[in-house]
Amino acid sequence: MSKILLVLCCCLGALLLFACSKPESSTNREASTNSSATSTPATTTPATTTASKGEKVGVAECDDFLTSYENCVTGKVPEAARAQFQTSITTLRTQWKKLADNPQTKPSLVAACKQSLETTRTAMKSYGCTF
């Protein structure tokens, strides 16, 4: 079971790194005008607001990390790239909630959240985030 959790964490870490590196591309300026018009509709905002603000994972390390990550994204990431990060936060929260609800996987979730914190902390320095 811990191998599955490790693979899941690696996949999530790769997703976070991919999400963090995409806004820095030179073609993103042109795409941001188009993507902000298409990604700003109400479909993105209510889903992330409801899932991210109202639901806790149930593991203190995970909840603290997600709160810090969300504050960073909300306060420091440019509007054009924010929806992509919000999607990552919602995905993490959903998957971690499922793992926390299972008594067999909950103990290993602390390590996964700490690993995600370290990976994300490094990736988000480019936006001036400190957590």
Give pLDDT tens digits for 50-73.
344 558 999 999 999 999 999 999
* 45: amino acid identity, one letter: T
Q: What is the DSSP letter of 21?
A: H
Higher pLDDT, 91 or 11: 91
Q: Considering only CA atoms, which of 102, 57, 93, 96 is closest in space to residue 73?
A: 93
CA distances for 61 relative to 65, 77, 114, 122, angstroms: 6, 23, 7, 17
Does position 76 have pLDDT exceeding 70, yes or no? yes
Average pLDDT of span 120-127: 93
**Where does the pLDDT of residue 99 fall: very low under 50, low under 70, confident under 90, or very high at 90 and above?**
very high
Q: Where are the beta strands (DSSP E) in the chain?
A: none
Residue 83 is assigned to a structural domain of this protein: yes
Residue 111 is assigned to a structural domain of this protein: yes
Residue 47 is assigned to a structural domain of this protein: no
Residue 51 is assigned to a structural domain of this protein: no
Residue 116 is assigned to a structural domain of this protein: yes
Residue 37 is assigned to a structural domain of this protein: no
pLDDT tens-digit map of 3-49 = 555 444 554 554 444 455 444 444 444 444 444 444 444 433 333 33
Number of domains in the chain: 1
Residue 62 is assigned to a structural domain of this protein: yes
- Domain containing 129 equals 1-19+57-131
Residue 103 is assigned to a structural domain of this protein: yes
